[in-house]
Amino acid sequence: MVLKSFSYLEGKNKKTIKVEVCDSIWKKFSGLMFRKNSKPLLFSFNKNKRLTIHSFFCKPFKAIWIDDKFLITKEEHVKNWRIYISGSGKYLLEIPLSSIKLVTEK
């Protein structure tokens, strides 16, 4: 697993986080499912669009939808076993609550 840095804007603050990039169909399909300990995951898409997720077989996590200008469009603390969580963006971060402290300000 290779971790990469990803930066986005939260208001006027630049946040940087080390992420595992979900770049295959399998990684995008499975996300945080069945993972006991995970680094934050980054899902990247071709353009801004509505992105719907669920939290079956996941521990609680924070979901952050980010647009093509790297601005947050929605943030949500996601409890496990939720069927429908939706937001819009080009990027989606799934951050396990156990690793929230990995987000840093620059």
Task: Give 70-100 pLDDT, tens digit per residue.
Answer: 999 999 999 989 988 999 999 999 999 877 6
CATH of 3-105, one of 3.90.1150.10, 2.60.120.1140, 3.40.1160.10, 3.30.70.120: 2.60.120.1140
63 burial level (CB within 10 Å; 0-12, 13-18, 19+):
buried
B/e letters for 27-53, b = 16+ CB within 10 Å, e = fewer, are eeeebbeebeebbbbbbeeeebeebeb
3-state secondary structure of 15: strand
Average pLDDT of the residues of the chain? 88
Cα 41 to Cα 18: distance, rounded to the nearest angstrom: 9
What pTM value is reported for the model? 0.85
Residue 7, CA atoms < 13 Å, CB-side half-sphere: 5
What integer is the mean pLDDT of 12-41?
Answer: 88
**CB-count burial class (<10 Å; 0-12, 13-18, 19+) for 21:** middle
Question: Comparing 100 with 34, which gets the higher pLDDT?
Answer: 34
Task: Please give the backbone phi and psi of residue 53, each rounded to the nearest 5 degrees, phi first.
Answer: -130, 170
